[in-house]
Chain A
């Protein structure tokens, strides 16, 4: 089983739609959680950190459920510019010291 799993998509949604991405992780000792955005052929960039209490940044809402080892990202009122791959990232102390483990990414296409 992979340490971080995501639905690879693609998710094709119309502008203005609400879309939700899910992520599960296997290491219960994982310590911090993030969503990154990656545009085609570019480096990943931090979208938002994810806290146990849930957090919101404009149209984006992230939730963490430690008991279920589950992370989510909700995007409201989708824009064309939201089209990208969204990476679920977990920081854990595991086989390779303290490092970041990436999910495979979920591809989103927002259509006009």
Chain B
């Protein structure tokens, strides 16, 4: 079982450019999440989606947008990247409320 897959695994991006981080899950989970992880700050929620067709803002949503056109895919877009968006990005999904989250392998993004 593939589980949850992110692409790319790493990327160097020029400031001002746009980029979409892809996330796909094959577990038919309702909820999906995007986190960023920075040294000393832990994982912080960027955006979430409780079910296909709905999205919500997390703790650090500025500069990011998401869509949830179907159950499987939850792409994260940076419209105009800035160096402070250099981070490791994790996509996650969960089946029902109160059940565990499963994570993708992460995307390491460097904005220069």
Contact = CB atoms under 8 A, between A and B. Distances in A.
Interface of A: 31-32, 34, 41-46, 49, 87, 89, 91, 95-105
B99 A32 contact: yes
A49 B102 CA distance: 13
A85 to B, nearest CB: 10
Contact of B43 (A34, A44, A49): A44
B101 A43 contact: no
B90 A31 contact: no
Interface residues of B, number: 29
A76 B56 CA distance: 41
A105 B104 contact: no
A14 to B, nearest CB: 27
Contacts of B35: 102
A43 B40 contact: no
